[in-house]
Structure 1
Amino acid sequence: MSKKAQITVSQIIQAALSVAADKGAGKVTLDAVAKAAGVSKGGLIYHFPSKEALISAMVQHLLDEADCRREQQTQLEQSTLAALLQTRASFTRQIAGNTAMAILAAAAEQPALLKPVQQHNIAMLQQVLAEHQQSPQALLLFLASEALVFHDLLHISPFTEQERIDLEQLLVQQARELQA
């Protein structure tokens, strides 16, 4: 793929994420994304022949970005689990508006779109459990973090922002202590 094509693909994905965040799941259409990206609908379809292909690319982009951030955090932490929890906390706050809802809405129609997320979670859990000798406490910290993320992404959290931040910090602290 040429440099220009890579820029266009990235531009389209960013536009799709913006449309999802700003306008909601129902507004992520090929027309709306093409307009937001400043490309023709034909140009968008050249790279993403369907809405499902576009949503799939959005999911992969978010996973890649999360992995990149986790790898950077791992260099600062001794524990993969602590790095993962720290990354989840900051990354979840940065996923704008309705982006997660748009992806989940599309996945409700096409569950296979979330397969990469499932595979990513399996790989992360296996890595954490291997590092912590299958520790039930590591599993509980992983699951508690997942619950906070999904509560936040689905806008159903019973916690205030400060309570959530405090809980996230507690999870990271416990992960660090588990490693020690």
Structure 2
Amino acid sequence: MNLSTKAKLKRDHILKAAIEFILEKDFNDLTLEAVAKQAGISKGGLLYHFPNKEALLAGLTQQIFEEFINLFKEKANQDPIEKGKWSRALVELSKWDLEHNSKLNIGVLSQSLLDHDTSKAIDTTYQYVQDKIEEDVINPVTATIIRLAIDGLYYSELLNVAPIEKELREKVLNELLNMTK
């Protein structure tokens, strides 16, 4: 294993530990010391990969959005029905993510704390989703309504603003899937 591969593995380990910390504790309690402890490494080891909290937040955001985009592409490419496949991929992936700790919310929170230039560079990944659903074979307005409804589900949960019960969320997501056909 070469040094760059080893460094990438260590970096990924630190980011995974940061996500675990946020899910177990609270986003506001995130410190470099806490992440180092969660990862089982020294603070100096963490600082080698992430020299400050902003670098850690940028790494978190980038990793979460890249993973989301890769899974989004994979889901769409596995769909044998061309019409609505990008919108379906978004709904299905969001459904899975919402049921499994909503990592995308961690990415959104991290991004909101970054400076404008860093945030803008990461924002382009989410624009990819919007572009793909607008190119979907369904009405682009319908596709955008689907995306905005999913955004609403995430933000409702993230901000704890009238979050909906799991059963109702399931019905909403199923209706959004129906809109892709």
Task: State the TM-score, normalizing by the size of structure 1.
Answer: 0.84
User: Which of structures 1 and 2 has the larger relative contact order (alpha carbons within 8 angstroms, sep 6+)?
Assistant: 1
Contact 2:22/2:30 (8 A) holds in 1:
yes
Shift in Å, 1:139 = 1.7
- The corresponding residue for 1:43 is 45
Q: Name the counterpart of 1:155.
A: 160
CA-to-aligned-CA distance 1:103-145 (integer Å, 9 cap, x gap): 6277347455543553222221112112247632222122112
Instruction: Report the TM-score, using the length of structure 2 for normalisation.
Output: 0.83
Q: 1:86 and 1:111 mapped to 2: Cα distance?
A: 30
Structure 2 residue 143 is the aligned partner of structure 1 residue 141:
no
The answer (yes or no) to whether the contact 2:76–2:86 under 8 Å persists in 1 is yes
109 and 130 in structure 1: CA distance in 2 versus 1, 3 angstrom threshold: closer
The answer on whether the counterparts of 1:52 and 1:113 sit within 8 Å (CA) in structure 2 is no
Letter in structure 2 aligned against 1:118: D
Structure 1 consecutive aligned stretches of length 4 or more whose deviation exceeds 6 Å = none
Q: Flag the 1:157–1:114 CA change in 2: closer, same or farther, 3 A.
A: farther
Aligned 8 A contact 2:57 2:111 in 1: yes
1:44 and 1:95 map into 2 onto residues whose CA distance is 24
Residue 84 of structure 1, aligned match among 90, 100, 105: 90
Task: Give, as a single letter, the amino acid of the residue that structure 2 aligns with 1:159.
Answer: I
Equivalent AA in structure 2 for residue 13 of structure 1: L
**Partner amino acid, structure 1, of 2:165:** T
Residues 172 and 116 of structure 1, relative CA distance in 2, 3 Å threshold:
farther
Contiguous gaps of at least 5 residues in structure 2: none
Q: What amino acid is the match of 1:67?
A: I
Code of the aligned partner of 1:121: Y
The answer for the alignment partner of 1:32 in structure 2 is 34
Residue in structure 2 matched with residue 131 of structure 1 by the alignment: 136
Q: Determine the structure 1 residue equivalent to 2:22.
A: 20
The residue aligned with 2:169 is 164
- Summarize deviations over 1:69-98 as a string: whole Å, max 9, x none: 21231133231111111111111322369x
57-66 vs 107-116, which moves further: 107-116
Of 57, 67, 72, 2:69 maps to: 67
- 43-52 or 119-128, larger mean C-alpha shift: 119-128
